[in-house]
Amino acid sequence: MSRVRPGPWLAALPMSLLALATLYPLLFTANVAMKTRRDYVLDRFALVDTLRGQNLETAWTSVGMGRYFVNSLIVVTSSVLLLLLLGSMAGFALSRLRFRGSSLLYLTFLAGLFVPFQVIMVPLARIMADAALIDTYPGLVLVYVAQFLPFTVFLLTSYYRTIPQEVIDAARIDGNSVYGVYRRIMLPLGRPALLSVGILNALFCWNDVLMSLVMMPSADHRTLMVGVTSLRGQYSDDIPTFASGVLIAALPVLVVYLFLQRQIADGVAAGSTKG
Amino acid sequence: MPLRNAHPSVRAGGAGRTDEALPPPAERRSPRPVRGSRTERLAPYVLIAPTALIILALRLYPLLLGVNFSFTGDGERNGTAVGVDNYRELFGDPLFRTALGNVGLLVLLLPVAVAIPGLLATFIYLRVPGHRLYRSVYFFPAVLSPVIVGAIFNLLLAFDGPLNAALSRAGVSPVDWLGDPDVAMFAVVGVHVWATFGMALVVFLAGFATLDSALLDAARVDGASLLRVIWHVIIPRLTRTIQFVFVTTMIGMLTSMFGLLYVMTSGGPEGSTYLPEYYIWIQQGQMNRPALASAASTVLFVIMLVVGLLQITLLQRAGRDD
């Protein structure tokens, strides 16, 4: 046989070790989260034999992770819905309508892709403060939308380009206005792309810490990830509760990953081949 | 709305001058400015206006504003023009110089951060036993927030944590991963690579999907070794993908390590794990020096611009090769 064959087999061992190294940190954390403080001090590695929800409950209620969780849910849901609405409108216009200035706008949006938040953090915080939007949900939503809109518009524009012009022409002949085409053709046909981009955006917003830290200074409005960072100082001597807080923040993402892995990977891949 | 559009015959007649066979109502084919009612003509602008407004007002305008800020003073000199004072202070600040030095370190480590997912993707593409499983396992840390990853590794890399315990069992003396100024930055970068290589892996696999498998089969039949296959078949065919991964990995290192730094080291020990983004945040949020922070932002933007332009040049060169 050819000599390419043994390579993959030899690679299988380091690759499974790496897979183990990928999973171990989270498993370790989950195990610690189930321990009592005393068990942890005595032996942090021993596997727990019962699933204790005590620490998770403490983290959820008295640490305030529950409150932060709800904050995150509100902000992320609004951001993603707004992103999909605005992104699909702009994507439809850029891909399937001809109008003066469309390529200039396209380039402008492209430029928006290359402006990371860190670079505009200071002036953006000032603009938001002037508009009395700092420390408010709409303010953070607006910042998230501005951050991820260029990427959203690009993916949706390139997806809409794959919808045949004939479909749109036919809808026009049937008497649809431009808005009718958007609502009756583009939105339904764009569903796979909207799902993929929506999940990615949800992950980005859910996982963000810097924007939330800058835009939501008060403890009441903390999002979940900022909540996780505050755990460290408060619970440095209560590691099981700390680990429980981390687990609460990670669980929704893990669930989403288990069920929607395909869409997430497809979204990333689409971003790479079309970018 | 559909009612307004109930005269397609009129419009088709108008367009018929250029194209007689088909009666297209679509503006796309018409070389002339769009016909139709006012609402219809304005529709594209209505659809795109919110996006344009948001990107202009909250992305591009702040960029200009920030560059402008960077030439004004902080505190008592708030708002007055101070020339390049902020930049002078910036480059005189040992913390910022450490941050720039660390950017250099990231550039040096970049090939490793690209090679690891590239090699793994190759094996997965060549269908190592269990390749489907590896793909989903490796990608999974990429969906976790840097904050969560950082918090988890705080536990694992603690002086009395699991990693040192494993090392001591192997007879290696424990390392103060996050407390030793010579080690901490490597530890943080290592964690960043652990958390993000799955992303690059998926991008590589998307690139592999465009490869002509007949080429690989031919190489196999010829009895080429794996290294030769990688060097002569895979790398030349995937230049675009490889460049894309290089650039996105670099940008990721420059703009998405804040969460890790914030949770794992807070820039310490002895300021050894500063990166520009962390410096910006400290100056803006903790030191109340927005103008100085803006100067640091501008420097970071220039660094990213260089990376971006490099990408475009490389891509164009690759385009010519095609």
Over residues B55-90, the pLDDT tens digits come to: 999 999 999 999 999 998 887 777 788 888 899 999
Ranges of each domain in chain B: 1-27, 85-321
In this structure, what is the dihedral angle of CA atoms A184, A186, A188, A191, given to the nearest 10 degrees? -170
Are the CB atoms for B117 and B200 separated by under 8 Å? yes
Is A161 within 8 Å of A95 (Cβ atoms)?
yes
Whether the per-residue pLDDT at A35 is higher than 50: the answer is yes
Across the range B193-204, mean pLDDT stands at: 92
Residue A206's contacts (CB-CB under 8 Å, 6 or more residues apart) are A72, A76, A224, A225, A252, A253, B145
* Residue range B263-313, pLDDT digits in tens: 999 888 988 999 999 999 999 988 889 999 999 999 999 998 888 787 777
Which residues, at least 6 apart from B266, have a Cβ–Cβ distance to it below 8 Å? none
Q: How confident is the model at residue B318 (pLDDT cuts 50, 70, 90)?
A: low
Mean pLDDT of chain A: 88
Is B134's CB within 8 Å of A19's CB?
yes
Segment B164-179 shows an average pLDDT of 88
Alpha-carbon distance of A249 to A247, in angstroms, equals 5
Question: Can you tell me the mean pLDDT for B184-191?
Answer: 94
Distance CA A128, CA B62 (A): 11
Q: CB-based contacts of A243: which residues, under 8 Å, 6+ apart?
A: A29, A30, A32, A33, A55, B155
B320 to chain A, closest Cα gap in Å: 18
The Cα–Cα gap between B26 and B157 comes to 62
Please indicate whether residue B128 or residue B43 has the higher confidence score (pLDDT): B43
Q: Render B129-147 in DSSP notation, one character per residue.
A: TTHHHHHHHHHGGGGS-HH
Q: What whole-number distance in Å separates Cα of residue B284 and Cα of residue B96? A: 14
The mean pLDDT of chain B is 83
* In the block, residue with structure tokens 């990608």: B139
Question: What's the token pair of residue B79?
Answer: 């708002």
pLDDT above 90 covers a percentage of chain B that reads 39
Alpha-carbon separation of residue B284 from A144, B261, B292 (angstroms): 19, 16, 8
Mind listing the pLDDT tens digit for each residue in A141-176?
Answer: 999 999 999 999 999 999 999 999 899 989 988 888
Cβ atoms within 10 Å of A199's Cβ, excluding its own: 21
Domain A55-274 coded CATH 1.10.3720.10: yes
Under an 8 A CB cutoff, do A121 and B58 touch? no
Please indicate, yes or no, whether the overall pTM of this predicted structure exceeds 0.95.
Answer: no
Q: Would the pLDDT of A23 be above 80?
A: yes
Q: Find out whether A215 and A208 touch, Cβ atoms under 8 Å.
A: no
The per-residue pLDDT for A265 is 83
Whether A79 shows a pLDDT value over 70: the answer reads yes
Q: How far apart are CA A64 and CA B217, in angstroms?
A: 58
Q: What is the rounded distance in angstroms from the CA atom of residue B209 to the CA atom of residue B213?
A: 9
For A21, the token pair is 């190294």
pLDDT over threshold 50, residue B16: no
Instruction: Give the whole-angstrom CA distance, residue A215 versus residue A221.
Output: 10
The span from the CA of B5 to the CA of A177, in Å, is 6
Residues of A in contact with B194 (CB under 8 A): 21-22
Question: Which tens digits make up the pLDDT trace of A243-271?
Answer: 898 998 999 999 999 888 888 888 888 87
The structural domains of chain A, with segments of one domain joined by +, span 55-274
Confidence of residue A224 (pLDDT cuts 50, 70, 90): very high
DSSP B72: B
The pLDDT-based confidence of B29 (bands split at 50, 70, 90) is very low
Q: What is the pLDDT of residue A7?
A: 56
Q: Quote the Cα angle for B28-B34-B36, to 5°.
A: 115
Output the six-digit token pair for A151: 């990427």
* pLDDT at residue A183, rounded to an integer: 92
pLDDT grade for B36, boundaries at 50, 70 and 90: low
- Give the end-to-end CA distance of chain B in Å, rounded to a whole number: 48
- Do residues A55 and A243 touch, judged by C-beta distance below 8 A? yes
Distance CA B180, CA B167 (A): 17
Q: What contacts A251, CB < 8 A, 6 or more positions away?
A: none
Strand partners for B78: B73
Instruction: Tell which of B9, B28, B51 to mutate to test the A interface (max A CBs under 10 Å).
Output: B51
Residues B111-138 have a mean pLDDT of 88
| pLDDT tens-digit series, residues A236-246 | 778 888 889 89
Residue for token digits 């290192």?
B253
B245–chain A nearest CA distance, Å: 8
- Are the Cβ atoms of A272 and B145 closer than 8 angstroms? no
pLDDT at residue A69 is higher than 60: yes
Among A1, A3, A4, the strongest candidate for a mutation testing the B interface, having the largest count of B CBs within 10 A, is A4
pLDDT value, residue B147: 93
CATH architecture of B85-321: Orthogonal Bundle (1.10)
Q: How far is B294 from chain A (nearest CA, A)?
A: 6
pLDDT of residue A6 exceeding 80, the answer is: no
Interval A91-143: pLDDT, tens: 999 998 888 889 999 999 988 888 899 999 999 999 999 999 999 999 999 99
| A235 vs A237: CA distance, rounded Å | 5
Question: What is the pLDDT, as a whole number, of residue B210?
Answer: 84
Whole-angstrom distance, CA of residue A237 vs CA of residue A246: 15
Phi, psi angles (nearest 5°) of residue B268: -85, -170
What is the pLDDT, as a whole number, of residue A120?
94
Pick A2's closest partner by Cβ from B55, B139, B220: B220
Percent of chain B beyond pLDDT 70?
85
Question: What pLDDT is attached to residue B315?
Answer: 63
Contact A209 B146 (CB under 8 A): yes
Chain B residues closer than 8 Å to A256 by CB: 143
Average pLDDT value for residue range B38-49: 89
B4-14 per-position pLDDT tens digit: 443 333 333 33
Could you read off the pLDDT of A198-221 as tens digits, one per residue?
A: 999 999 999 999 999 999 988 888
pLDDT at A50 exceeding the cut of 80: no
- Please enumerate in sequence order all residues whose Cβ is within 8 A of that of B26, keeping only pairs 6 or more positions apart, or say none: A165, A168, A169, A172
Chain centroid offset of residue A1 CA: 46
- Calpha distance B247→A114 (Å, rounded): 12
Candidates A100, A209, A231; nearest CB to B258? A209
Q: Which residue has the higher pLDDT, A179 or B216?
A: A179
Residue B316: pLDDT band (50, 70, 90) is: low
What pLDDT shows up at residue B128?
80
Other beta carbons within 10 Å of B306: 10
Check if the beta carbon of residue A96 is closer than 8 Å to that of residue A171: no
pLDDT at B32: 38
Q: CA B297, CA B68: separation in Å to the nearest integer?
A: 11
**For residues B118 and B241, what is the distance between their CA atoms, to the nearest angstrom?**
10
**Closest CA of chain B from A169, distance in Å:** 6
CB atoms B60 and A112 under 8 Å:
yes
Higher pLDDT, B36 or A222: A222
- Interface-testing mutation among A2, A3, A122, with chain B (most B C-beta atoms within 10 A): A122
pLDDT, average across residues B21-45: 60
3-state secondary structure of B78: strand
